Amino acid sequence: MKKIPLREQAIAWGFLSPALLVLLVFGIWPIAYALYISLHRWRIKQEAFIGVDHYVRALSDPGLFNGFKVTLFYALGTIPAEMVLSTGLACLLFNILRGKGFFRVLYFLPYITPVIASAVVFRTLFSPHPSSLANRFWVFWGFENQRWLYENKSAVALGLKALGFSTYPAWVDTFFPSLALVSVILYNIWVYVGYDTVILLAGLSAIPRQYYEAAEIDGASPWQSFCQITLPLISPTLFFLATVAIIGTFKAFNHIYILRTPGARDTTDVLSVVIFDQIFQNHNSGYAAALAFILFIAILVLTLVQNRVLGRRVFYGD
């Protein structure tokens, strides 16, 4: 192996130093300081060193487990729907001849719209008032008005009630998301489907057309071409979007904080909201920092598991 001269190494480190300095100041240092805070009883100011007491307390905290449960519901409700809808839209847009650019912009607009503004509008659309757009649409199909973002009962339980069931098992409210959380999930899908669609369109554009021509000559149906050509060749793009979506759902905060209501209680409080409340309502920065590190570990584990399980199914070509 050829040895790099010291002068060239010094030049390389000189070019890297600004980026490394930014990473140190705005990345590594805040993480290290948050770890230091999590090991202390820290409210308004530093008090006493308590070691891992905050982490031990978190293991028996119902708020932590509820935050994980809501976050899991939120992820399971958004990621599969986003992947399926964006893949379908991308395939449809890729095959149309006119207006492709217009529809790309149209679907991408929710993603570039300021989150606070769109969340406030969405909160108005899903108001419990009978004149809200959501209730008008719901009543049009013969159902009763709903409280939407103010409803803490399970969406499944309310669906059973709408179908005429007067009673339902108690575990339904525990193992299914509330109607308020379903409303938040709909907002998230509306925002990110357009982003995923645009990224998938780029992946579809990279597929050589001769693959489809050869499949057509061999008598393959459109569905067979999609399953045997399109899906394998866009699997790296789907894998990237799924990874970003998992990390994003576990870190989601802004729109959830805007859309949460007192009526929904804690059924929409994902773990990031629980951490926020510990800082700004309970003024317990030490415990909040510990919860943040637990969330970080959970995201890291999920990402590693996803890379190990789904990464093997990704087709990168020759």
Return the closest-CA partner of residue 300 out of 247, 221, 244, 239.
247
Cα 285 to Cα 291: distance, rounded to the nearest angstrom:
10
Residue 276's pLDDT band (boundaries 50, 70, 90)? very high
Least confidently predicted of 62-71, 156-165, 244-253, 264-273: 156-165
Query: What is the pLDDT at residue 45?
Result: 66
What does the pLDDT look like over 117-147, one tens digit per residue?
999 999 999 999 999 999 999 899 888 899 9
Query: What is the pLDDT at residue 168?
Result: 79
Give 131's DSSP letter.
T
Q: CA angle, corner 162, sides to 157 and 166, nearest 5?
A: 65
Least confidently predicted of 6-10, 23-27, 45-49, 129-133: 45-49
Residue 318's pLDDT band (boundaries 50, 70, 90)? low
What does the pLDDT look like over 217-257, one tens digit per residue?
988 898 999 999 999 999 999 999 999 999 999 989 999 99
Residue 85's pLDDT band (boundaries 50, 70, 90)? very high
Query: What is the pLDDT at residue 119?
Result: 94
Q: How far is CA 259 from the centre of its chain?
A: 15
Q: Can you tell me the mean pLDDT for 15-19?
A: 92
Of 101 and 26, the structure prediction assigns the larger pLDDT to: 26
Residue 104's pLDDT band (boundaries 50, 70, 90)? confident
Residues above pLDDT 70, as percent of the chain = 97
Q: How far is CA 34 from the centre of its chain?
A: 24
Domains of the chain are: 6-38 (no CATH), 56-313 (1.10.3720.10)
User: Using N-to-C axis directions, what is the helix angle for 179-205 and 155-162, rounded to 10°?
Assistant: 110
User: Using N-to-C axis directions, what is the helix angle for 179-205 and 231-251, rounded to 10°?
Assistant: 140
Instruction: Tell me the pLDDT of the chain averaged across its residues.
Output: 89
DSSP letters spanning 95-146 = H-SSSHHHHHHHHHHHHHS-HHHHHHHHHHHT-SSTTSHHHHHHHHTTPPP-
CA dihedral 109, 115, 117, 118 (to 10 degrees): 50
